[in-house]
Structure 1
Amino acid sequence: MIRKIDPNERRILKFPAVRPCESISPTILLTSLISLCHNISNFQSKTFPTQKKITRETFRQVGILHIFFEEIRENCPNYTNSLILCLSELHFFLQKIQFLLQDFTREGSRLYILMKSQCITSQFKLLIKSVAASFDIVQLNSLKISCEVKESVELLANQARKSKVETDPNDEWAMERVKFMLNQFENQLEPAKVSIKWILDYLGIQNWVDCNKDVVFLEDQLNNIEDDERENCFISNLLGFMCYCRAVLFNSLDSEDEQIINQIGEMSERRFLQSLNPEDFRCPISLELMTDPVTISTGQTYDRVSIRKWFGAGHMLCPKTGEKLTSTELVPNSTLKKLIHEFCSENGVSILTPGKKGKDSTKTVLPPGLAYKEAIRFLAQFLAGRLTYGTNKDKNKAAYEIRLLTKSSVFNRTVLIEVGNVAPLLDLLTSSDENTQENAIAALLKLAKHTKGQKAVIEEGGLMLVILVLRQGLKTESKQIAAATLFYLSSVEKYRKLIGSTREAIPGLIELIKDGTITGKKNAMAAIFGLLLYHGNHKIALEAGIVSELIGLISSIQRSELLSDALAILASLADKTEGSIVILKSSALNLIIGLLKSSISRAGKECCVSILLSLCKNVGNEVVSALAKEAAIMPYIYSVVADGSCHGSKKARALISVLQEFQESSSSRLAGGLAVRKERFVNFA
């Protein structure tokens, strides 16, 4: 009967308790009450950094209630309506107490619970009064329970009615100290480290790992806030405080901390979509998937419809960065558009249907808490100093901190770039320590998602260093992250030519397609696809042998996402005559036809149609004739017309037209030949 609710999925300090139904069996109700008391008592073994006085009193009261419920189950065969009502009310309030205790002991909630001390005190005051009121419903003298238990319950009820629940004075003092330090940050003053250390010791936060748990918890809470600006600001400030503590206060690590820092864990770019976050596919204005992404003069990308409405309202500032726009020209972002369409196709998302809204991008672009902003600025400067002047361990840790800070916050990326963290991170790419190199390239990947980061990497001479990691990285992960970094750099039109003209770039990506992991192959193909948007890179890729590698990959793999990526590159190459010729010489025609007839994804089929259409147009009758002999191919082309995207359907219809024209032309030539032969036969006769 007790509701099974995962405490980590429930919003903290939210109590979805329910009253038992009126027809509930008394036996079941009592069993559930006893189980509740048992669950609450189990919390006594846990650590409570704050709220200690309240929790001690709670455990004492629940212990008395536990004995009371056991006595009733053993000695009261008849259950009156008033008793059942009393037990139902107690069940409801005990659920809430259990929820509170779960929140007190939730991993990473220590600072948050401290700062909510007054709210928690009010909750307990209400619950204790409610428990006392529950006993007003029933006459204890009418129950067949022992005198000792009856006296204990009466005493509990009387004490609860008179109880003056107050916040622990020590908690009050600690809470005020945190508020004072947040105020210091707001006024651009850096709090004394000894004061911060006192707070962390009070909360039992002894090392980097403990501090990181609070950061992760606060990030999760911030992401789940909907439309509560005050709470948003409150949590944002606490998050900035804890991020600062994690990096600055725990700058020397113990062995356990070092082990975690050196383990990539969930921060590894194990899948391409962890390098290219699906949230990047949402328009920062509408928060919906972009159907037509365009880039404005500040380098930021928006959905065309949304940014036009923004301009139409008279705004001449970039919605994300606040920079003044030099023009309202909209440049189509074809690389991102292609990736969005592939993502939607692979995940069964209709790009025409508004999806579930993501988190409000303004929370990561311009965090509402002033203390957060200033804490991150102090932290960014600290990390820049560590990267420049610290020991090798200091540099590794600083790179890892930047990697964490840039994971989802545009504001953090902006500040870290502005204070000069890009150049020292680039220096770490030549480190002989594999973990340091990986943390540095991963941090740069996140910074390269920002236009200022892309510019800094190029201007600081970082392109060759990124390519060096791509070719000679000490870890496989470092190589594939370097490929993803090149993808983001290739999103800038003027950098595509620069990257392509760097001799080792495209060959290095092709080598990763050949020998890399699944993630490495996907990252490399995404980067190449972006580079091919500059026509001059087609020849370089063809000369480097990309077609043969892609054909070999397509022939040997079964994963649909890799097939789609490989076919998308072939489709891009086939769009030009030189690409079509190389593809045809590689004997790929029958392979492409076979794939079109197979059960690959819709995106894959559309790419096959696109390749075949380009081959027909660029190479000519040899391909058209071969396709015309494939009588069974037409239903598959028609399926793309019916089920494909708008772009895919258009290509399929064009291919059908080419084949029909060829067949009609062939029929005409055949009919003409028969007429000539018939005339000659008649004359001869």
Structure 2
Amino acid sequence: MAPRRRRMLALPAVCPCEAIAPAPLLASLLSLAADVAGLRAAADVDALPALRGAAREAVRIAGLLLAFLDGIPVPDEAEAAPAVLVLGLSELHVALQKLRLLLADCARKGARLWVLMNAELAASELRVLLGSVATAMDVLLLPSEGHVVVGGAASADADAEELAGLVSRHAWRAAARLRPDPEDDRAARGVRSVLARFASGVTPDAEDARLVLARVGLATWHDCSEEAAFLEAELLERLETGSDDNDNDNDRSKTDKAAATVNRLPPRFTLSLNPEALQCPITLELMTDPVTVVTGQTYDRASIKKWIKSGCRTCPVTGERLRSAELVPNVAARGVIEQLLLSRGVPVHEPSSKHRCAVDKTATPFGAAAAGGVRLSAAFLTARLSSVSGAPEEQKRKATHEARKLSKRNVFYRACLVEAGAVPWLLHLLSSTDASVQDNAVAGLLNLSKYPAGRRALVEAGGLGLIVDAVNVAAKVEARQNAAAVLFYLSSNPEYCEQISRIPEAIPTLVRLARDGAYRGRKNALVSLYGLLQCADAHGRAVSAGAVDVLAGLMLVGASSASAGDDGGDLALDAVALLARLAEQPGGARAVAASSELVTRLVDFLGEAASRSAKEHCVALLASLGRHCGDKVLALLGKLPGLMPALYALIADGTPQAGKRARWLVNEIHRHYEQRQTPASAPTPATGDRVIRV
């Protein structure tokens, strides 16, 4: 079990034993004082987010104390050390331990904002510690004689006496005057102002934000991410312990209240880790095979390999040139991801794609603070979207870009955006004359359409016609492709599917995109058409729009490129699947059967296809043609020499459904030729059937 993290401003110290010899105690004190005094040389004090003046004074006192301790002669071990000497040095040892921990907390990376907002509490702790140092020095000064006790006798060394008195006076004066710096209070007020404006959905004052960031020293997005992770961990730990400090641990009401709060929290990641660290910086999705590149950054293997394969030889995060393309598996990150998956009820032996799918479909945040932050961000962003109608194009681009990024994260982010009412405003921005605004708005709607409530909000806002128009006239090719993908997600609902199919331009627009678009546009158009053909009325519109000719062209061209490993083979399979669905209706079957060249190519495709799904779609299409077009198609099929071997292979090795259709086709072809060869008036041979039935 991992050791528990020390709480901020919890200052544990080890008290020296009563029988300790002065020599090791002095050596330990010299080391502690040197550590604290060394902060000045390292310039760490000037980088503190708060209490810089008080910390400088504490470091200066530690320097004086170091000079004082260095001048104390070590008592002879044979002599008994005075009790007052051991007592004073022991008190000083405890105070210096706590002072070192306190200054380390104030300089802790990732906790700078916490320190700023708790500057008064840190100042109180520092005040107590400086008082403890002053008290210890008073113990070492014998008030009755005015000398410093060393080695059991009064020291006549005036320098040691002067240093001891100087340390005592400075420590008392610093403790009495210690207050947070005025700049600390101003920056803390700025943080509260920013939070209050966020809570009310108002844009924070830029000057307040700049002041806070400058005071705290946050210069990069990574710094902000570390701060958020620390605050989240601190909040959850306080909820679990049931107390905000180490006092009142027996307060039953506080403990019960905290336990009830924890019970209401959704399941979360149990490790003290920012969950965003498990997301690939390229795809912003949960990594399933984390690997580390030479710059030390971790990515999902598939995304970084695609990045390198595209010709980019720089690290996506740092921008450094990758001297080597070697990818080292990050075993530690993989173990953490597996624990996360198990905590979400996802078995770790499932394929990686199912891991990502299962986690993305979990509409729960990683903690209460994260949930509140996401809801505030969604509400703030929606307010920005609603106010950019008359704003410059640059503001529209920024707002829609943020919506696009936020909606890409996971289901919880999408749910918050939908609840905040972002869908109608994104639809409104589809009419923008700026191509980037259009592209961002369509991409955001695509991400939101993956969520059922997002699809419902889109339809209720009257967005179906706008999406169809975007497929047709959007300025960017990517926007047209994404709009076609939106129609695919919408077609998963039969009611929405019927509404889309009734839009006059919907199916012709998709058919044109399948004919003229790039690979991704064609792919999205084909899957959207496949979904729309759930409606029987859509078959006639697809045939009228020339879908059969387009699909035949994709199949004829794509099948020949499949052997070369091009994307056309994938499109050929989609085209055959779509032709099979079209042929389920008589009108579609007749349109397919009208081209004997297409039927011949289908038989060749059945024999050449390597995948089981391709064979199943192809035999389903041929069976539909035989059922709806009768003898005309059966006569043509019987003349094609490659058909029967392929059908018998499916009967022997195919799926039950494919085997059933292949068997039906074989029997129907035999029946057709048997009827042609046997006159109607001739008696049936007594020997039985002339053809073996299968």
> Shorter-normalised TM-score: what interval?
0.5 to 0.7
Shift of 1:456: 1.5
Matches within 5 A, 1:491-502: 491-502=492-503
Shift of 1:653: 2.9
Q: Does residue 561 in structure 1 map to residue 601 in structure 2?
A: no
1:586 corresponds to which residue? 595
Shift of 1:634: 2.6
**Which one-letter code corresponds to 2:670 in the other structure?**
Q
1:306 corresponds to which residue? none
1:541 corresponds to which residue? 542
Tell me the distance in 1 between the aligned counterparts of 2:416 and 2:684: 83
Matches within 5 A, 1:286-365: 287=346, 357-358=355-356, 361=359, 364-365=362-363
Shift of 1:556: 1.8
Q: Does residue 655 in structure 1 map to residue 662 in structure 2?
A: yes
1:443 corresponds to which residue? 444
- Aligned residues of 2:484 and 2:510 also touching (Cα < 8 A): yes
- Aligned residues of 1:574 and 1:580 also touching (Cα < 8 A): yes
- Aligned residues of 1:288 and 1:358 also touching (Cα < 8 A): no
Matches within 5 A, 1:172-571: 173-177=112-116, 197=210, 200-201=213-214, 206=219, 210-211=220-221, 229-231=269-271, 235=275, 287=346, 357-358=355-356, 361=359, 364-390=362-388, 391=391, 392-557=393-558, 558=561, 559-571=568-580
**What's the Cα RMSD here?**
4.8
2:106 corresponds to which residue? 169
- Aligned residues of 2:539 and 2:582 also touching (Cα < 8 A): yes
Matches within 5 A, 1:102-113: none
569, 590, 598: which one aligns with 2:608? 598
1:249 corresponds to which residue? none
Tell me the distance in 1 between the aligned counterparts of 2:117 and 2:645: 69
Q: Does residue 607 in structure 1 map to residue 647 in structure 2?
A: no
Tell me the distance in 2 between the aligned counterparts of 1:438 and 1:457: 17
Tell me the distance in 2 between the aligned counterparts of 1:474 and 1:217: 40
2:626 corresponds to which residue? 616
Report which of the two structures shows the higher radius of gyration computed on alpha carbons: 2
Tell me the distance in 1 between the aligned counterparts of 2:650 and 2:117: 61
Tell me the distance in 2 between the aligned counterparts of 1:178 and 1:589: 75
Provide, for residues 287-309 of structure 1, a one-character-per-residue CA deviation record: whole Å limited to 9, x for no partner.
589xxxxxxxxxxxxxxxxxxxx
**Which one-letter code corresponds to 1:167 in the other structure?**
A
TM-score (norm 1): 0.52
**Which one-letter code corresponds to 1:381 in the other structure?**
A
- Aligned residues of 2:619 and 2:661 also touching (Cα < 8 A): no
Tell me the distance in 1 between the aligned counterparts of 2:617 and 2:39: 67
Tell me the distance in 2 between the aligned counterparts of 1:599 and 1:363: 34
- Aligned residues of 2:397 and 2:436 also touching (Cα < 8 A): yes
TM-score (norm 2): 0.52
Distance 1:418 1:55, change over 3 A: farther
Tell me the distance in 2 between the aligned counterparts of 1:216 and 1:640: 58
Distance 1:167 1:515, change over 3 A: same
In structure 1, list runs of 5 or more residues that go unmatched: 1-51, 58-110, 112-162, 240-265, 271-281, 290-349, 679-685
Tell me the distance in 2 between the aligned counterparts of 1:54 and 1:598: 77
Matched residues, number: 417
Provide, for residues 576-629 of structure 1, a one-character-per-residue CA deviation record: whole Å limited to 9, x for no partner.
111110001133101111111224533222211111011111111222222223
**Which one-letter code corresponds to 2:472 in the other structure?**
R
User: Quick check: which one's helix share is greater?
Assistant: 1
In structure 2, list runs of 5 or more residues that go unmatched: 1-37, 44-48, 50-98, 119-187, 233-266, 280-305, 311-340, 562-567, 686-694
Distance 1:55 1:373, change over 3 A: farther
Distance 1:56 1:550, change over 3 A: farther
**Which one-letter code corresponds to 2:448 in the other structure?**
L
Matches within 5 A, 1:34-45: none
Which shows bigger deviation, 656-665 or 510-519?
656-665
Using CA pairs under 8 Å that are at least 6 residues apart, name the structure with larger relative contact order, 1 or 2: 1
**Which one-letter code corresponds to 1:387 in the other structure?**
L
- Aligned residues of 1:236 and 1:369 also touching (Cα < 8 A): no
**Which one-letter code corresponds to 1:535 in the other structure?**
A
- Aligned residues of 1:365 and 1:411 also touching (Cα < 8 A): yes
Among all aligned residue pairs of Structure 1 and Structure 2, give the percentage whose two residues are the same amino acid: 30
Tell me the distance in 2 between the aligned counterparts of 1:215 and 1:375: 13
1:636 corresponds to which residue? 646
Tell me the distance in 2 between the aligned counterparts of 1:194 and 1:507: 53
Tell me the distance in 2 between the aligned counterparts of 1:54 and 1:589: 85
- Aligned residues of 1:525 and 1:565 also touching (Cα < 8 A): yes
Shift of 1:407: 0.9
Distance 1:627 1:420, change over 3 A: same
- Aligned residues of 1:610 and 1:652 also touching (Cα < 8 A): no
- Aligned residues of 1:596 and 1:605 also touching (Cα < 8 A): yes
**Which one-letter code corresponds to 1:170 in the other structure?**
A
